[in-house]
């Protein structure tokens, strides 16, 4: 026993006496072991001649749309007021678009925050959340923060190993995270495989389908989380405005779930965590003209992805196929050494030791710099 409370709490004047084994810190010990989130390095971190190119955080390289900036300016004078407790207008617009009820949509400050909400909503001490590894780095920490136990299931050939994830399910499992396309490796799960996994999962858990890169998917027959949700209330779909919509700095994403799950998420969400400006920028991005421009940008990124993968193959660099806005290089060498070599060339990638390095597909001139750097690094190899 940690505490030996010898004084009855019925005597408020008496100070409780603790045994010697009392914890010395009010902080939860397991949280001290959590890795701090490592953000992608930025050009300011890198010294050198020309400004460095940032290909480390999977952002959209293009500046915000003028219509989005205008909307932000129009709403800036209102920020002395609280935002709405619930961004109803955006929830309604998204429900409309996805053919679901507005009560099924939960807007959050980025889908990262929705991962932590889902963990808080489902995990009691000893409960487990299964996630692929390497994958999005928030799944494990979100689980620990909520008091649960993360269960990491290694990828197979850079892809999610759904059989192994299913085999990892126990009576204590409450969440299974599917990241499709998988960050950092790139492949998306086949829809039939996801449907088979869902059918085989027991009743007592939620399948979280994280579709942060959905807009960049071009392979046929990839998992469609909303389609899975239509037939099964255990599915939670995560989407974000951070990637294809280019609003990473505003922090806005959403979950589509059963009305029952969404109701609990709304009860545990930090009130006012979605700002007025974030909601308005998202609404402006959903306007038909804005969306057409964004779709064009996504098409540019997808075309550039093909070009980069082709040119890397021509250079003899091993890559993983990608349905996202990044490519993964698993075999160039020790990831930290490789990332340092790119930084010396003014190109910032994300090192994911021991697995490889990830390069975001940027604007065409940025991708040129990445490819030129690759050539130089290969040429200087012993």
Ligand X SMILES: *Cc1c(COP(=O)(O)O)cnc(C)c1O
In what side-by-side order are the strands of the sheet with 105-108?
105-108, 253-256, 235-240, 206-210, 173-179, 128-133, 149-154
Task: Select from 35-43, 92-100, 240-248, 367-375 the region that touches ligand X (CB under 6 A).
Answer: 240-248
Cα 286 from Cα 215, distance rounded (Å): 14
Region 48-77 residues binding ligand X, contact defined as CB under 6 A: 58
Of 367, 351, 349, nearest to 359 by C-alpha is 349
Region 118-157 residues binding ligand X, contact defined as CB under 6 A: 136
- To ligand X, the closest distance from the beta carbon of 108 in angstroms equals 8
Task: Select from 2-10, 32-40, 106-114, 281-289 the region that touches ligand X (CB under 6 A).
Answer: 106-114
Task: Select from 8-16, 104-112, 163-171, 345-353 the region that touches ligand X (CB under 6 A).
Answer: 104-112
| Minimum CB distance to ligand X smaller for 195 or for 248 | 248
Cα 183 from Cα 158, distance rounded (Å): 10
225 part of the interface to ligand X, by CB under 6 A: no
Among the listed residues 193, 210, 224, 304, the single contact to ligand X using CB under 6 A:
210
Inter-residue contact 195 to 215 (CB < 8 Å): no
Please state, as a whole number, how many other Cβ atoms lie within 10 Å of the Cβ of residue 256: 25
Task: Select from 168-176, 235-243, 261-269, 333-341 the region that touches ligand X (CB under 6 A).
Answer: 235-243
- To ligand X, the closest distance from the beta carbon of 79 in angstroms equals 21
Instruction: Work out the angle at residue 268's Cα, subtended by the Cα atoms of residues 262 and 274, and round it to the nearest 5 degrees.
Output: 80
| The 3-state secondary structure of 352-375, one letter per residue | ECCCEEEEECCCHHHHHHHHHHHH
106 part of the interface to ligand X, by CB under 6 A: no
| Minimum CB distance to ligand X smaller for 178 or for 228 | 178
Q: Where in 288-373 does DSSP place strands (E)?
A: 326-329, 347-348, 350-352, 356-360
| Minimum CB distance to ligand X smaller for 257 or for 373 | 257
360 part of the interface to ligand X, by CB under 6 A: no
187 part of the interface to ligand X, by CB under 6 A: no
Inter-residue contact 177 to 142 (CB < 8 Å): no
Which tokens sit at 126? Answer: 């000893």
The contact mask relative to ligand X for 247-286 (x = CB under 6 A, - = no) is -x----x---------------------------------
Q: Is the dihedral of CA 327, 332, 336, 339 positive or negative?
A: negative
111 part of the interface to ligand X, by CB under 6 A: yes
- To ligand X, the closest distance from the beta carbon of 331 in angstroms equals 22
Cα 308 from Cα 326, distance rounded (Å): 10
- To ligand X, the closest distance from the beta carbon of 39 in angstroms equals 11
Cα 332 from Cα 319, distance rounded (Å): 9
| Minimum CB distance to ligand X smaller for 211 or for 345 | 211
| Minimum CB distance to ligand X smaller for 226 or for 248 | 248
- To ligand X, the closest distance from the beta carbon of 179 in angstroms equals 5
Residue nearest to ligand X (CB): 110
User: What number of chain residues touch ligand X (CB under 6 A)?
Assistant: 14
Element holding 73 (H helix, E strand): helix 66-75
Among the listed residues 112, 169, 201, 281, the single contact to ligand X using CB under 6 A:
112
183 part of the interface to ligand X, by CB under 6 A: yes
346: region left, alpha or beta (phi > 0 left; psi from -120 to 50 alpha): left
- To ligand X, the closest distance from the beta carbon of 111 in angstroms equals 4
Give the three-class secondary structure for 147: coil
Binding site for ligand X (CB under 6 A): 58, 110-112, 136, 179, 183, 210, 212, 240, 242-243, 248, 253
């Amino acid at each position: 026993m940690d505490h030996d409370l010898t004084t009855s709490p019925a005597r408020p004047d008496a100070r409780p006496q603790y045994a010697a084994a009392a914890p010395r810190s009010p902080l939860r010990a397991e949280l001290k072991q959590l890795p701090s989130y490592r953000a992608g390095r930025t050009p300011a971190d890198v010294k050198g001649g020309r400004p460095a190119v940032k290909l480390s955080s999977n952002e959209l390289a293009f500046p915000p749309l003028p219509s989005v900036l205008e909307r932000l300016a129009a709403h800036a004078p209102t920020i002395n007021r609280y935002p709405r407790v619930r961004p109803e207008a955006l929830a309604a617009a998204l429900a409309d678009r996805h053919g679901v009820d507005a009560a099924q949509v939960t807007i959050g400050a980025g889908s990262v925050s929705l991962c932590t909400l889902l963990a808080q909503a489902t995990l009691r001490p000893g409960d487990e959340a299964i996630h692929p590894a390497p994958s999005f780095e928030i799944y494990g920490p979100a689980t620990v923060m909520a008091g649960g136990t993360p269960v990491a299931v290694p990828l197979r050939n850079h892809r999610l190993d759904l059989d192994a994830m299913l085999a990892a399910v126990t009576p204590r499992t409450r969440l299974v995270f599917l990241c499709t396309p998988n960050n950092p490796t790139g492949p998306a799960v086949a829809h039939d495989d996801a449907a088979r996994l869902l059918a085989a999962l027991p009743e007592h858990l939620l399948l979280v389908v994280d579709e942060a890169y959905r807009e960049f998917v071009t392979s046929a027959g990839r998992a469609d989380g909303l389609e899975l949700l239509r037939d099964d209330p255990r599915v939670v779909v995560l989407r974000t405005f951070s990637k294809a919509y280019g609003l990473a700095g505003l922090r806005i994403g959403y979950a589509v779930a059963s009305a029952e799950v969404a109701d609990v998420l709304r009860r545990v969400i930090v009130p006012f965590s979605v700002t007025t400006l974030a909601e308005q920028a998202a609404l402006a991005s959903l306007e038909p003209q804005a969306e057409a421009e964004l779709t064009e940008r996504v098409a540019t990124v997808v075309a550039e992805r093909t070009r980069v993968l082709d040119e890397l193959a021509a250079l003899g660099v091993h890559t993983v196929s990608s349905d996202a806005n990044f490519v993964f290089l698993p075999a160039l060498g020790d990831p930290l050494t490789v990332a340092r070599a790119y930084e010396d060339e003014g190109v910032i990638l994300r090192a994911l030791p021991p697995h490889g390095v990830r390069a975001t597909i940027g604007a065409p001139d940025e991708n040129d710099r990445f490819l030129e750097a690759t050539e130089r690094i290969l040429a200087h190899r012993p």
